[in-house]
Amino acid sequence: MSVYIHLAAALWVLAVGGLQLASAKGTPTHRWIGWSWMLAMVVAALSSFWLTSPSNLFMGYGPIHLLSIWVLVCVVVSVIAVRRGNIRRHRGFAVGAYLGTVGAAIGAIALPGRLLHSVFFT
């Protein structure tokens, strides 16, 4: 079940994140979609901690789980920054979190032994 929650949230993050980057900023729509995106980021990051593998280095966790921790930091910093009016910091951390998710998706597809790798290459 965790993998489905993780995939659904990650797909929302990838799709909506791209739309957010291309859309007008500061609008009510941007804020509403941004909140749904941030929530999906948190769900994707937290759900990743239920996705472990015996082949990972530390108690079933691998380097990709460090990205989950970083994403949670990015979400918190981004929300605090925008509430304080620091749009530059908000944008930097939100875009950074999005690009990290893109990197994680590429890694999940490209690395043998990962579920998405077997979906795409088996």
Least confident of 6-20, 30-44, 74-88, 101-115: 101-115
Task: Determine the residue type at 12.
Answer: W
Query: Which pTM value belongs to this model?
Result: 0.85
CA distance 61 to 75: 21
Sole residue written with tokens 């990962």: 114
> Would you say residue 119 has pLDDT above 90?
no
The sign one gets for the Cα dihedral 43, 49, 52, 56 is positive
Domain spans in the chain, listed from the N-terminal domain onward: 2-121
